[in-house]
Structure 1
Amino acid sequence: MELTVRAEVKNLKFSYGEKRVLNGVTLPIHENRVTALIGPSGCGKTTLLRCFNRMHDLYANANYDGEILLHPGGINILGKEIDPMEVRMRIGMVFQKPNPFPKSIYENVAYGLKVRGVKKKSFIEERVEKSLQQAGLWEEVKDRLSSPATALSGGQQQRLCIARALATEPEILLLDEPTSALDPISTRHIEELIQELRKDVTIAIVTHSLHQAARVSDYTAFMYLGDLVEFGASDQVFTNPRDPKTENYITGRFG
């Protein structure tokens, strides 16, 4: 079965002022698959992930060079004429630490729709319920949607953040170490959720856990010092890496 490429990174360089962080990265992101970005701290994986929804635009001296093409259509989402807010609606992001807004559970999930100008209450209610179901949280919160989101447990808060990201029906979901602040049971919930969500959305995940990358991803990109060293099917990368650097990292010779 031929895979559809949902997004394409082409010769992407990125720097903060004089500091170069990415050195001409090129890789595909396949539709309805999970792509893991792995590598030691400071290798550029989170920087690459944040390029996808223009998070770096929020800081001064951020410089992109190269393209990230969103298919179908081949729109370069790094183009100066492209509105970063529109990019963030099409590409959702969930961060390392759960960050619910200081609002009710319902208002957290409805937030992105309201920002988009959606006013129809029945449509918003439908999307809130569906997103919470997709995030595996509906049964736990359906009777307390007006309760503060901050009253939820850490694992529930992270699933709420996933529901909030899903509410605007993004084409790609970015997960930046989504379980690093969670206990093992919550981590398992999120990993199971990722496997379910790939049916509906294309996912890119940054993780420090090689075991997690091997468990949840279809494709893995190994990065080192701003370079993409190796990209391939996760089974191949973890069992038969082509590059000695990849093998050294996966076997724990450096990290």
Structure 2
Amino acid sequence: MVEQVTKSMSESNATKAKVEVRNLNFYYGATRVLKNINLMLSEKRVTALIGPSGCGKTTLLRCFNRMHDLYPGNRYEGDIILEPDSINILSRRVDPIEVRMRVSMVFQKPNPFPKSIYENVAYGLRVRNESKRSIIDEKVEQALRGAALWDEVKDRLNDRAYNLSGGQQQRLCIARALATDPELILFDEPTSAIDPIATMTIEELIEQLKQQIAILIVTHSMQQAARVSDFTAFMYLGEIIEFNDTKTIFTNPSHKQTEDYVRGKFG
């Protein structure tokens, strides 16, 4: 298993590496839930995490922006190296707030703040103590354009974000994630709470976003993983069983567990 994962990581490194996970373990209290995770995320590529419920996908995803720091008793071991600066974002010397500016996250359900559309997008900029209105205006517009939402909301930026449809709210959350110019975006089942048309819009948006940024997505949909990702990691019981380019994972996996999962025999 380790040989296969290492070989696949080497092959994926034909593209420029953005993040390297090295021997990552994660503990909820005394319970180890991630076990010796090694993974390479490539620049301007989409990597999908697939696996049955409870296998550790979201737990791994939240390690990348230190979300687990928000709860007592959680503990990391190992490294997550962010390139090109070679910064270990799990280091205690690294400010988790700054990590969350560089590694943004979009959650399963749209979670706009109880603020205006404009202030939702501007939130991260204000956290960074940006106060110049012209800069904030420019960044808000850029982010909304990047999330394919500008034309729909440009005349009502002061409206409450809750007035938007579910699909629009999710794109607003993507715009909020984009506003701080992140280097990696994490998507945790971003289309599970929206309708099929909005899902298609989000998937098209992911395809556009990967032209400029690395993306890591957790999804339970094998069809979605096959559509949007360049690389796929299959997880089971806190371990990465197999990691390879997406076509290989879905057509010629090396492990029986991977084959059974992608063919719907368990999960």
1:43 partner SS: coil
Tell me which amino acid in the other structure corresponds to 2:233. Answer: A
Q: What is the CA distance between 1:253 and its match in structure 2?
A: 1.0
Task: Give the structure 2 partner of residue 86 of structure 1.
Answer: 98
Q: In structure 2, list runs of 5 or more residues that go unmatched.
A: 1-12
Aligned length: 255
> Following the alignment from structure 2 to structure 1, what is the Cα–Cα distance between the partners of residues 157 and 216?
29
The counterpart of 1:26, out of the listed 32, 35, 38, is 38
Deviations 1:229-252 (A, max 9, x none): 000100111111011100000111
1:117 partner SS: coil
The counterpart of 2:67, out of the listed 33, 55, 61, is 55
Question: Are residues 1:237 and 2:249 paired?
Answer: yes
Question: Are residues 1:7 and 2:24 paired?
Answer: no
Structure 1 runs of 4+ with >4 Å offset: none
> Following the alignment from structure 2 to structure 1, what is the Cα–Cα distance between the partners of residues 225 and 153?
29
Tell me which amino acid in the other structure corresponds to 1:62. Answer: N
Deviations 1:172-204 (A, max 9, x none): 000000000011000000000000000111100
The counterpart of 1:217, out of the listed 229, 244, 252, is 229
TM-score normalized by the length of structure 1? 0.99
> Following the alignment from structure 2 to structure 1, what is the Cα–Cα distance between the partners of residues 14 and 255?
26
Task: Give the structure 2 partner of residue 193 of structure 1.
Answer: 205
Tell me which amino acid in the other structure corresponds to 1:30. Answer: S
1:29 partner SS: strand
Q: In structure 1, list runs of 5 or more residues that go unmatched.
A: none
Q: What is the CA distance between 1:134 and its match in structure 2?
A: 0.6
> Following the alignment from structure 2 to structure 1, what is the Cα–Cα distance between the partners of residues 31 and 155?
50
Q: What is the CA distance between 1:2 and its match in structure 2?
A: 3.6
> Following the alignment from structure 1 to structure 2, what is the Cα–Cα distance between the partners of residues 50 and 152?
27
> Following the alignment from structure 1 to structure 2, what is the Cα–Cα distance between the partners of residues 110 and 86?
16
Tell me which amino acid in the other structure corresponds to 1:166. Answer: L
Counterparts of 1:116-127 in structure 2, within 5 Å, are: 116-127=128-139
Q: What is the CA distance between 1:73 and its match in structure 2?
A: 2.0
2:185 partner SS: strand
1:161 partner SS: helix
Tell me which amino acid in the other structure corresponds to 1:169. Answer: D
The counterpart of 1:183, out of the listed 181, 186, 195, is 195
Task: Give the structure 2 partner of residue 146 of structure 1.
Answer: 158
1:215 partner SS: helix
TM-score normalized by the length of structure 2? 0.94
More divergent stretch after superposition (187-196 vs 116-125) = 116-125
Question: Are residues 1:38 and 2:50 paired?
Answer: yes
Task: Give the structure 2 partner of residue 165 of structure 1.
Answer: 177
User: CA RMSD of the aligned region, Å?
Assistant: 0.8
> Following the alignment from structure 1 to structure 2, what is the Cα–Cα distance between the partners of residues 115 and 46?
25
Deviations 1:61-89 (A, max 9, x none): 10100000001121110011111001000
Task: Give the structure 1 partner of residue 6 of structure 2.
Answer: none
- Identical pairs, percent: 64
Counterparts of 1:107-122 in structure 2, within 5 Å, are: 107-122=119-134
